[in-house]
Amino acid sequence: MADDWQKHDMAFLGGRRLRRTRRTTWSRAMVRETVLTPGDLIWPLFVIEGHNEKTQIRTMPGVERLSVDLCVEAARAARDAGIPALALFPNTPDHLRSETGAEAYNPDNLMCRALSAIKSAVPEVGLIADVALDEYSSDGQDGLVRDGEILNDETVEVMIRSALVQSRAGADIIAPSDMMDGRVGAIRAALDDEGHEQVQIMAYAAKYASCFYGPFREAVGSGGRLRGDKRTYQMDYANSDEAMREIEQDIAEGADSVMVKPGLPYLDIVRRARDSFNIPIYAYQVSGEYAMIEMAAAAGAIDRKGAILESLAAFKRAGANGVLTYFALEVARELGR
């Protein structure tokens, strides 16, 4: 009876056995649909003052804040591993933070010094400069605040000034992460007017108000000082159509690429964006996602290496052109082997 059933079953399937191509390592490699390479990875770095200084981030095991000279060393390591670009985030000293965020457009601020040093030493690596006020404000908000209200247009004016000093310092890509309306078009116009036509804009186009940013805010020193929340400008995590409108608007204003943030909980947004728009799309595997993998692996709940590679492949499978990830250097070296 078993033989009869097997013959009937195979006849019904037309002789197809989908497991045939999965039997061996070499066969799986031949039919693999999604391939991850070092060129798909962008490495975020946290910058601090000092020389030969590094500090641990309590909620991000294995990630350190680095002084500018150590960021240069990291850039060399990234280049050697085949990573095309770094994303920089400064931890501005407390005494330089203010309600106006004026340090954001100081041409000698920490971000600009890091950009200049890395571009001078390792010009082959692309530099992505974050543009938002939370790294410079005394209240942890991404925008200027008046009577509890986040000011849109006034914030955009400050962001323009910040983007210009970053471009002069060597930024290859300006990445506005604030979610203010109209900032992409305003920054694009200002960059072009000053002769920075070749500087790209990577817009944080679909950035959600998420609990997964907690470790990042500790890393840049904004979490403990945050007053209120960011829900009036970052997106509601219940919405998907709204993300498409945000992306469409940023493209219309001149974005060269767009980003979805956070990452794994928002793969549906990455997929919708890929199906809807013909533009490079990036996803950010944010600090909370990184911490979950590290802490689950430390507890023995998951295989660390397997979880890292599987999660990054998921971004590519969903349609992302690349991923910002704190695992970038480790993974690039692993893939290079």
Look up residue 262 and give its two tokens. Answer: 């956070």
Helix, strand, or coil (residue 302):
coil
Indicate if 207 belongs to the active site: yes
Contact (Cβ atoms closer than 8 angstroms) between residue 66 and residue 43: no
Identify the active-site residue in 119, 207, 230, 316.
Answer: 207
Does residue 38 have a cis peptide bond before it, meaning omega lies within 30 degrees of 0?
no
Helix, strand, or coil (residue 262):
coil
Cβ partners under 8 Å of residue 192, min gap 6: none
Helix (H) or strand (E) holding 174: strand 173-176
Identify the active-site residue in 119, 230, 261, 316.
Answer: 261
Give, in order, the Cα–Cα distances in Å from 119 to each of 165, 167, 190.
14, 11, 22
Handedness of CA 142, 144, 147, 151 (dihedral sign): negative
Q: 146, 118, 142, 123: which is closest to 131 by C-alpha?
A: 142
What does the alpha-carbon distance between residue 4 and residue 13 come to, in Å, rounded to a whole number? 14
Helix, strand, or coil (residue 203):
strand
What does the alpha-carbon distance between residue 311 and residue 236 come to, in Å, rounded to a whole number? 23
What does the alpha-carbon distance between residue 328 and residue 38 come to, in Å, rounded to a whole number? 8
How does strand 149-151 pair with strand 144-146? antiparallel
Geometric angle at alpha carbon 235, from 327 and 62, rounded to 5°: 20
Indicate if 316 belongs to the active site: no
Catalytic residue positions?
207, 261
